[in-house]
Structure 1
Amino acid sequence: MEIKLIKRKLKSGRTSLVLEYYMGYSVAANGTTRPQRKFETLEYYLYTDPKNKLERDHNKVNLEMAEKVKAKRLLAEQNEQYGFAVKYKIRTNLVEYIKGLIEQRKESPGNWGNWDSALKHLVAYAGTNTTFEMVDKKFVEGFKTYLAKQAKTKSGTALSTNSQSSYFLKLKAALNQAVEDGIIPHSPAMSVKPAHVEDVHREYLTFDELQRLAKTKCPYPVLKDAFLFSCLTGMRWSDINKLTWAEVQEFDGGTRIVFRQKKTKGLEYLDITGQAVRYMGQRGKADERVFAGLKYSA
């Protein structure tokens, strides 16, 4: 099998990155040949005509990521083709592998904590000596049942369906990553669906409440400024926490923030109001955080 990385221009001004799998050809009754191909659209895209350094950097990073995916797909195909779906890799310890994935998320406390909780439930279900060769569809379904009927919170109550779904999806994501890493040829969780997620009631601040908060003293001024800035811009905590002055640009008499979202990795352009600008304070050096000293604890 041959795998190529191809580019497809979109009307949106972006270019989609697609893997083309060439699997030989078939011969019709009249003797004509027809190539057999399949395509996989990747989650990465390029700016067709990059207009600045940020967009050029975006293209460079996404192209590198797409090449890595191509290399992993090729390795997985070769492993399966030659029958050594890497027997030594399939003996990899599942818990230790997931610990490695969790370590990669240490800069995102909320996400890290969710993965850590999922792993604790997995250990309670299967212990610490489980290897990938022991993980099949029955194992995955058993974990789903365990979360629904046996798993408990720290306070001893049953898990909500949303927590069940979240923890199950962590195992599913780990198995998908293991496929990417060439440890297993396919994920045994592919056809197993998570628990149905219930709609969660969310509380929102009213305009009057927000005005009262703005007038209320806070022992941590940077926390108050960052919170009100979030309310005025809609930016996530993770993006505000890492925001630097290099990402704050003066544009046509206004202020624009050009940043890469931590969650989606997408490049964003956000024009903000003068009221939001005031909460950022005095401009610092390009590499300095706008909200220096802002801390978070779960």
Structure 2
Amino acid sequence: GYRDESTMKVIRHESLGIYIYAKPKNQTELKYNQSLAERAEAIRCRRFEAIVNERYDFFDKEKMKGDFLAYFKKLADKKNSKWQHVYMHFRTFTQGKCTFGEINVDLCNRFREYLLTAPQGLH
């Protein structure tokens, strides 16, 4: 089992939404089943690696490619209006694109400078 990050519930099975022929009638259907089985195995291997990395605190490079702005937006929606304003400024500062891998001290310092000079909207 693994923990779903959005609901924090333990899940034992994950559906991939991949369907194969139960009884392939010809060579084409057989090749189709083999191709999808290989893809499903590749997905299973990647998912298993992510679970092991999370469990043993290994660095997961795939998570660094995730959208930081989407994460920040979800977090800001749970907080007060100050968070919303900071999110809007950060989205403007990054021109709507920012991954977790791009977050570093230099970006934070440049964002700080931006906030000191940025026009204040409502506050």
**Matching residue's letter, 1:79:** D
Alignment of 1:172-251 (within 5 A): none
Quote the residue 2:92 is aligned against.
124
1:102 to 71, 76, 99: 76
Relative contact order, higher structure (CA 8 A, sep 6+): 2
Secondary structure of 2:89's counterpart equals helix
From 152, 175, 185, give the equivalent of 2:119.
152
The residue correspondences of 1:12-31 to structure 2 (distance < 5 A) are none
Q: 4+ runs of 1 displaced by more than 3 Å?
A: none
Residues matched between the structures, number: 71
Q: Which residue of 1 aligns with 2:62?
A: 88
The 3-state SS of whatever aligns with 2:61 is coil
How far 1:119 moved relative to its partner? Answer: 0.4
Give the secondary-structure state (helix, strand or coil) at the position aligned to 1:100.
helix
Q: Give the structure 2 partner of residue 140 of structure 1.
A: 108
CA distance in 2, matches of 1:124, 1:133: 18
SS in 1 for 2:57: helix
TM-score, normalised to structure 1, is 0.22
Deviations 1:86-109 (A, max 9, x none): 11111111110011112333xxxx
Shift of 1:75: 3.9
Q: Encode CA deviations 1:219-267: one digit per residue, 9 max, x unaligned.
A: xxxxxxxxxxxxxxxxxxxxxxxxxxxxxxxxxxxxxxxxxxxxxxxxx
Q: Which residue of 2 aligns with 1:115?
A: 83
More helix by percentage: 2
Return the letter of the residue paired with 1:89.
K
How far the C-alpha of 1:153 sits from its partner, in A, is 1.3
After superposition, give the CA deviation of every residue in 1:9-54 in whole Å (9 maximum; x if it has no partner): xxxxxxxxxxxxxxxxxxxxxxxxxxxxxxxxxxxxxxxxxxxxxx
Aligned-pair RMSD on alpha carbons?
2.3
| Counterpart-to-counterpart distance in 1, 2:68 and 2:62 | 13
- Aligned-pair CA distance for 1:134: 0.9
> 2: CA distance between counterparts of 1:154 and 1:136?
26
Q: What are the Cα deviations for residues 92-145 of structure 1, in whole angstroms up to 9, with x where unaligned?
A: 11110011112333xxxxx2x111100011011112211010111100111011
Q: State the shift of 1:79 in Å.
A: 3.2
C-alpha separation in 1, matches of 2:87 and 2:77: 12
Identity %: 20
Distance (whole Å) between structure 1 residues aligned to residue 106 and residue 60 of structure 2: 22
Equivalent-residue separation in structure 1 for 2:83 and 2:71 (angstroms): 12
- The structure whose residues are more often strand, as a share, is 1
Q: Which amino acid aligns with 2:67?
A: N
Give the equivalent residue in structure 2 for 1:257.
Answer: none
